[in-house]
Amino acid sequence: MHTNNINYFKFECLNDENFKTYKQNHVILLSMNEFELCKNSSNNFTIKLSKPNKALLMSLYNHIEGLSVSSEYNACSFNSVNVQTHDKFIESQKKLNGTIRLRYEIVETLVRDICQQVSYLLETHRKCFYVMQTKNIIVIDNGSKFLYVSNNELLDIKDNSICIRRPFAKDQCFLSSELASLNELPYTINYNTTYCSIGELATFCLTGERTSSDIEDIYGTKLYWCIKRLVRERCFVNL
């Protein structure tokens, strides 16, 4: 865990006719509504949020050694050999292994990293994600670390509950059965729904299927029982 001595940096953004770059030649690898992923140099990357979010960036800072946070809390920068989205990572794994199913140790790392990020947000900022989407997962160094980045899915916790006010695409999310049957907003639900979302995400990564819950191939392992508790009891046990 980091100390309170936060590294700050600043940069400005501009548009180009052929491609977008930052003034210091930051090339945008991915541009989404919620964030941009940029490559600054051969081993330095930036995540720029669409709007400031101190809690979200501090959860990344707490997780990645040497990560720097902008003083406006709208961007962070870190060193890495390789950074990509989860969807791109899945594609690369399919080319290598002939399947989108991820190896046990990679899924174990994903679950551990996202649960640690969620635990920090819960304990320090009283916030949590209510669903998970693969497009919001950043994969560092080919699966050695995972980050979850979303402003819209990060909600305040009050009286152990979160209130969902904006519509979301159920077919694109990993979510609890309670949210899957949701048909009106606003809706209040216990914050532990976040753990169910992680469990469903992990199940997909192991099976390669959104509709499958069969993880018997890893029966008896730490990850097996961890996923079962995430989905059924909505809690996390250290792996």
User: What digits encode the pLDDT tens for the residues 220-232?
Assistant: 999 999 999 998 8
User: What digits encode the pLDDT tens for the residues 82-118?
Assistant: 999 999 999 999 999 999 999 999 999 999 999 999 9
Tokens of 109: 């790392």
Report the CATH number at residue 164: 1.10.510.10
Whether residue 161 is found in the same domain as residue 216: yes
Looking up tokens 């048909």, which residue turns up?
A: 183
Question: By residue range, what is the domain housing residue 59?
Answer: 13-81
Whether residue 119 is found in the same domain as residue 137: yes
**Structural domain count of the chain:** 2
* pLDDT beneath 70: ranges in the chain: 1-25, 233-239
- pLDDT in the model for residue 226: 94
Give how far the C-alpha of residue 11 lies from the chain's centroid of Cα atoms, to the nearest Å.
Answer: 24
CA distance 217 to 50: 40
- Prediction pTM value: 0.87
First to last CA, the chain: 18
Domain-located, residue 237: no
- pLDDT in the model for residue 234: 67
3-state DSSP call for residue 12?
Answer: coil
- Asked whether the beta carbons of 2 and 62 are under 8 A apart, the reply is yes
Q: Amino acid letter at 117?
A: Q
Domain-located, residue 54: yes
Whether residue 194 is found in the same domain as residue 223: yes
Domain-located, residue 5: no
3-state DSSP call for residue 195?
Answer: helix
- pLDDT in the model for residue 237: 57
